[in-house]
Amino acid sequence: EWDETFTQAELITNPNVQNDKNVKGLVDLLELQLNNFKLSQYRLLGYERHRDAHH
């Protein structure tokens, strides 16, 4: 399970993380990948429901 509170807390409380553009970019990239994964899972679920509804 993705722990968003940890990354957000790190960004808020850790000045090194706040000032490190590379780390911030990595966090953004991870969140983007997570969102893409959730979206693909959601689409797959929707496809399966649509398919099952027609059988």
pTM of the model as a whole: 0.40
Range of the domain at 30: 4-53
How far is CA 43 from its chain centroid? 16
Query: Tens digit of pLDDT for each residue in 1-55?
Result: 555 555 666 666 666 665 677 777 777 888 888 888 888 888 888 888 877 887 6
Q: How many domains does the chain have?
A: 1
- Give the per-residue pLDDT at 1: 53
3-class secondary structure for 20-31?
CHHHHHHHHHHH
CA 37-39-2 angle, 5° bins: 45
